[in-house]
A = this chain, B = another copy of it.
């Protein structure tokens, strides 16, 4: 009995994952409004009715995809933190500023790979739905907290402009994660991904102006 139910649950998990992967790609390529639930079902290889057994609305689909990226971001951040801890014990501490840069680069890489889902900034229904989505909010807050620690440390140690509100720095990092500039440079087809990441990271932290 338990094994039967466990197998069913496994199958269900697999189908859920197929859906989330499809949603992630569609959100990354077409955006929320242009994405239709029919497309999601088709790309996940099942009927729309089956999809609606697992997710109750289009908004919930978006929420699940966002939970997915936030989990990946948290895993990356925790990896960085652990590496920094080891490095510190080995006598070569990591600067918080470099951790923030690494996260930024990870986000841009994800975007360049077409794996960064992005939602419309202005959509009150969707925003409301996300804000009442506990799985999403927990991860968003967890990620914000981890980043805020590095931001504050970098400001205290004079690596980040201390006059800026930490909030502004945090928002800026989130905004750069889906910066249209990255997509525009990629579309131009003239630059390598590595080049794009270097440049946009550089403008984010050091600005457009020449070194002073």
Contact = CB atoms under 8 A, between A and B. Distances in A.
A167 B180 contact: no
A190 B168 CA distance: 11
Interface centre among A165, A181, A190 (most CB of B within 10 A): A181
A90 interface: no
A48 B43 CA distance: 37
Contacts of A129: none
Interface in A189-212: 190-191, 199-200, 202-212
A145 interface: no
A179 B174 CA distance: 11
A205 B209 contact: yes
Interface in A158-189: 158-162, 164-165, 167-169, 171-172, 175, 179-181, 183-185, 188
A171 B158 contact: no
B159 A171 contact: no
Contacts of A208: 160-161, 164, 169, 172, 204-205
A200 B165 CA distance: 11
B162 A210 contact: yes
Contact of A123 (B34, B118, B185, B190): B34
Interface string A12-48: 0000000000000000011101100000000000000
Interface residues of A, number: 47
A161 B97 contact: no
Given A33-B33, A203-B164, A121 B183 contact: yes
Contact of A168 (B33, B167, B181, B210): B181
Given A160-B208, A160-B209, A161-B210, A121 B180 contact: yes
A43 B129 CA distance: 27
Interface of A: 29-31, 33-34, 97, 118, 120-124, 158-162, 164-165, 167-169, 171-172, 175, 179-181, 183-185, 188, 190-191, 199-200, 202-212
Of all A-B residue pairs in the complex, the 3 with the closest CB atoms, nearest first, are: A207-B207, A33-B33, A206-B207
